[in-house]
Amino acid sequence: MDFKKDPQVDFKEIQDLTPEQARQEIEALREGIEYHNYLYYVKNEPVTADARFDALFRRLQELEEAFPQFQSDVSPTRRVGAAPVDELKRVAHAGPMLSINAALEEKQVQNFLDFIDRNTTQEARYVLEPKFDGFSVEVVYEQGLFQYGATRGDGRMGEDISQNLRTINAVPLRLQNGERIPPFLSVRGEVIMPKAGFQRLNRERVQNGEPPFANPRNAAAGTMRRLDPREVAKKDLDILFYEIISVEGIRFSSHWEMLHQLPRWGFRTDARNRLCASFEEIRSYYQDLTAQREQVEYEIDGVVIKVDSYAQRETLGTRHRSPRWAFAWKFPPKEEITRLEDIVVQVGRTGMLTPVALLQPVDVGGVTVSRATLHNAEDVRKKDVRVGDRVRIARAGDVIPEVVEQIPEPDRPRKDPFVMPSHCPACGAAVLKEGAYSFCSGKLNCPPQIHGGIIHYASRDAMDIEGLGKKTAQDMVRKGLVRNIADLYRLSLDQLLQLDGFARKSATQLFEAIQATKTPPLDRFLYALGIRHVGQRVARILAQEFKSLEALKGAGPEDLTAVPEIGPEIAQSVVQFFRERENQKVLEDLFGSGVRIQDMKGETRTRPLEGKRFVFTGRLAHYSRKQAADRVEQLGGRVVFSVSGETDYVVAGEDPGSKYARARDLHVPTLSEAEFEALLSRSQG
Ligand code: IVH
């Protein structure tokens, strides 16, 4: 095999190896295979000896089987897919994962450049990148080894999809070119599904009677959030990297410099990235890319324009959700005209009612579209679309197709305008209006909401029922074992044994986990009910104010709005929830099954680090970043990324970065790892 780190393996009989010899050979094989991967997927210099590569891979598999003590998450053998998981765990990002302001019009791009001009002293240079229409992820490395990867989530917290990311060959499991390996590195990239793979996947889905994905982005997102990595490994996925979220031990002065370092470490970047300095260059890049768009092997939906200098980025700063130094110039959406055959109302997991247009199927930019969203009743009214009309639909590439407008046909009689039903089409409960949107109020008894409601009820911050994840909840509902959360408490051991993947031990554990939640404190219980607008904070406020469920149930809108921080929207939602007959029935059932809510008597000491902000820097000996963050969050604290006057503690491990110095400057208390552990154990009481 012609690559430089070709491990010199003489394939000794495995039973003749000492553990130490096996360990060394395993290590050499892992490094060699990953290097081969890097040449193939990143440098695009495929080596020819495939058969030799396969032999090395099999040898590694055999050695790992014979010496299970050397199993490792960063072994290339993990790329073929690990065992399925029950649910995806939440993780905090190493830095915020922001989005970008975007527009279609040239004028807006000029405004962006003018804004940059006015706010920088030296003329800015820009990096232009294709805007990949995929699924944004964070990938984290410590000492050059893959630690975990996460979805973007809400930008602060995402879901851990490590096991799925490992199946993508272009995600490095170890960084290359050893001399500049940072102790900590978090990078951002876009998981994409090439157009060809997308078409194939959709054909398969249709053959299996499953609905096709609307676009490659949804396909990538749907695949990456799957619970069975072996399924993910079969799919055609790729990844391109474009930003560093956080790094220690290295400073770059510009994005362009950083983009050159990424591939040296083994991260694939796009060959179309450019550095430029004027609007004319940006426009010609945009035009070129628009022209090439159909030929590019994956979907791109615009050009991202980024200020190159990191010093200038710093001066420009960020808004709440997007940086001031970047802008996306989107391509025009793809459009088509077809006939609207019907408007149906769909009930989502949150109870939101969405009018959906059923269309005569039409090909829009290579994808067959037969449904399009109409967002809400207000949208239908404004656009005045009616069943039978000819309509223009658009697929922006990144969203579900939408109905843009109706095309007038003067001589054709039209049907009546659409009206939103006053009762939920799924369960019959009253429909509530909230601005332009409509919601079903039958939360606890409405089929599409039951499944979502159970997952929420069981989730960590709610009742924390271990072993009751998404898959299990789905299975329970599908098998008719539960119709609402009260049914959970009636499940027998025998019934739990009917669930997919459950054996006596796991069923007993789940049974006990459910029974263990029969006496929840009021605040947790309120949050667990999933009442609209009642998040953890509001639940706590309500619980502390009203003390018992009885008192809260009896509260009218005025009693509620009299409580600080409770506005009319929350008040209406709470009152309506308890007024709904079906919800009342489920609550009675819960009590009938022995659930007893603990009233609030003064403060409970369950979240001792409530409101405390932590920053981590350097390497911890006993925790990964994620484990440390989890511990803090379990105790009510928050992990933030940069040190400011509002930071409560900076935890410094080995080789701390600049955050440590900044903490000193700002007189923010710093903790060693041992002090951090002491704080955790004190907090746990
Ligand atoms: S940079 C702080 N660069 O587009 C800026 N994003 O809202 C972070 N995207 O969700 C993003 N291609 O997932 C950046 N070359 C690119 C990108 C890109 C696609 C995605 C990203 C984000 C969305 C914009």
Q: Whose CA is nearest to atom 23 of ligand 1?
A: 99
Q: Whose CA is nearest to atom 12 of ligand 1?
A: 131
Q: What is the pLDDT of residues 185-198, one digit of tens each?
A: 999 999 999 988 88
Number of domains in the chain: 5
pLDDT of residue 202: 76
Is the pLDDT score of 250 beyond 80? yes
Do residues 667 and 521 both lie within one domain? no
CATH number assigned to the domain comprising residue 632:
3.40.50.10190
Q: What is the pLDDT of residues 261-291, one digit of tens each?
A: 999 999 999 999 999 999 999 999 999 998 8
pLDDT of residue 8: 60
Residue 322 CA to residue 329 CA, distance in Å, equals 15
Q: Of 53-57, 95-99, 292-296, which one has max mean pLDDT?
A: 95-99
Ligand 1 touching residue 323 (CB < 6 A) = yes
Ligand 1 touching residue 93 (CB < 6 A) = no
In a domain, 95, yes or no: no
Do residues 496 and 450 both lie within one domain? yes
In a domain, 147, yes or no: yes
- Which atom, in ligand 1's list, is nearest to the CA of 129? 15
Do residues 456 and 555 both lie within one domain? yes
pTM: 0.58
pLDDT of residue 333: 75
pLDDT, mean of residues 540-565: 91
Do residues 486 and 545 both lie within one domain? yes
Q: Whose CA is nearest to atom 13 of ligand 1?
A: 136
Q: What is the pLDDT of residues 421-468, one digit of tens each?
A: 999 999 899 999 888 889 998 877 788 888 888 988 998 889 999 899
Cα of 677 from ligand 1 centre, angstroms:
37
Ligand 1 touching residue 99 (CB < 6 A) = yes
- Which atom, in ligand 1's list, is nearest to the CA of 243? 1
Is the pLDDT score of 293 beyond 60? yes
Q: What is the pLDDT of residues 345-356, one digit of tens each?
A: 998 877 889 999
Share of the chain above pLDDT 70, in %: 95
Ligand 1 touching residue 131 (CB < 6 A) = yes
CATH number assigned to the domain comprising residue 134:
3.30.470.30
Radius of gyration of the chain, Cα coordinates, nearest whole angstrom: 28
Do residues 136 and 148 both lie within one domain? yes
In a domain, 6, yes or no: no
- Which atom, in ligand 1's list, is nearest to the CA of 133? 19
Ligand 1 touching residue 241 (CB < 6 A) = no
- Which atom, in ligand 1's list, is nearest to the CA of 130? 15
Backbone angles phi and psi of 651, in degrees to 5: -95, 120
pLDDT of residue 1: 43
Ligand 1 touching residue 304 (CB < 6 A) = yes
Ligand 1 touching residue 242 (CB < 6 A) = yes
Ligand 1 touching residue 587 (CB < 6 A) = no
Q: What is the pLDDT of residues 401-434, one digit of tens each?
A: 889 899 999 989 999 999 999 999 998 999 998 8
Do residues 240 and 316 both lie within one domain? yes
Do residues 587 and 660 both lie within one domain? no
Which of 127, 136, 319 maximizes ligand 1 atoms within 8 Å of its Cβ, making it the mutation to test the pocket? 136
Ligand 1 touching residue 488 (CB < 6 A) = no
Q: Whose CA is nearest to atom 22 of ligand 1?
A: 99
Domain, as residue range, for 108: 102-330
DSSP conformation letters of 431-494: EEEETTEEEES-GGG-HHHHHHHHHHHHSTTTT--TT--HHHHHHHHHTTS-SSHHHHTT--HH
Ligand 1 touching residue 534 (CB < 6 A) = no
Which of 93, 98, 99 maximizes ligand 1 atoms within 8 Å of its Cβ, making it the mutation to test the pocket? 99
Q: What is the pLDDT of residues 357-374, one digit of tens each?
A: 999 998 886 678 899 988
In a domain, 430, yes or no: no
Do residues 364 and 473 both lie within one domain? no
By annotation, the residues acting in catalysis are 131
DSSP conformation letters of 32-97: HHHHHHHHHHTS----S-HHHHHHHHHHHHHHHHH-GGG--TTSGGGGG-----SSPPEEE-SS--
Do residues 464 and 564 both lie within one domain? yes
Ramachandran class of 133: left when φ > 0, alpha when ψ lies in -120 to 50, beta otherwise? beta
Range of weakest confidence among 48-52, 99-103, 456-460: 48-52
Which of 152, 242, 258 maximizes ligand 1 atoms within 8 Å of its Cβ, making it the mutation to test the pocket? 242
At 294, is the pLDDT very low, low, confident or very high (cuts 50, 70, 90)?
confident
Is the pLDDT score of 73 beyond 50? yes
Do residues 496 and 642 both lie within one domain? no
Q: Which residues contact 620 (CB under 8 A, 6 or more apart)?
A: 628, 651, 653, 654, 673, 676
Q: What is the pLDDT of residues 132-182, one digit of tens each?
A: 999 999 999 999 999 999 999 999 999 999 999 999 999 999 999 877 899
**Burial zone of 207 (CB within 10 Å; 0-12 exposed, 13-18 middle, 19+ buried):** exposed
pLDDT of residue 608: 79
At 211, is the pLDDT very low, low, confident or very high (cuts 50, 70, 90)?
low
Is the pLDDT score of 37 beyond 60? yes
Cα of 135 from ligand 1 centre, angstroms:
9
Instruction: Give the SS3 label for residue 24.
Output: helix
Is the pLDDT score of 547 beyond 60? yes
In a domain, 55, yes or no: yes
Is the pLDDT score of 561 beyond 70? yes
CATH number assigned to the domain comprising residue 60:
1.10.287.610
Q: Whose CA is nearest to atom 6 of ligand 1?
A: 131
Q: Whose CA is nearest to atom 21 of ligand 1?
A: 136
Is the pLDDT score of 105 beyond 70? yes
In a domain, 97, yes or no: no
At 606, is the pLDDT very low, low, confident or very high (cuts 50, 70, 90)?
low
Q: Which amino acid is at 510?
A: L
CATH number assigned to the domain comprising residue 498:
1.10.150.20
CATH number assigned to the domain comprising residue 361:
2.40.50.140
Instruction: Give how far Cα 233 sits from Cα of 31, 80, 84, 129, 229, Å.
Output: 21, 6, 12, 28, 6
Q: Whose CA is nearest to atom 16 of ligand 1?
A: 131
pLDDT, mean of residues 38-46: 82
pLDDT of residue 348: 80
* 365 CB-side CA count, 13 A: 22
In a domain, 515, yes or no: yes
Is the pLDDT score of 604 beyond 60? no
Which of 99, 100, 246 maximizes ligand 1 atoms within 8 Å of its Cβ, making it the mutation to test the pocket? 100
Do residues 520 and 651 both lie within one domain? no
In a domain, 218, yes or no: yes
Tokens of 473: 């909840």
Average pLDDT of every residue of the chain: 89
pLDDT of residue 234: 86
Instruction: Give how far Cα 387 sits from Cα of 365, 479, 508, 667, Å.
Output: 24, 37, 53, 66
Cα of 97 from ligand 1 centre, angstroms:
9
Is the pLDDT score of 396 beyond 90? no
Do residues 47 and 65 both lie within one domain? yes
Ligand 1 touching residue 132 (CB < 6 A) = yes
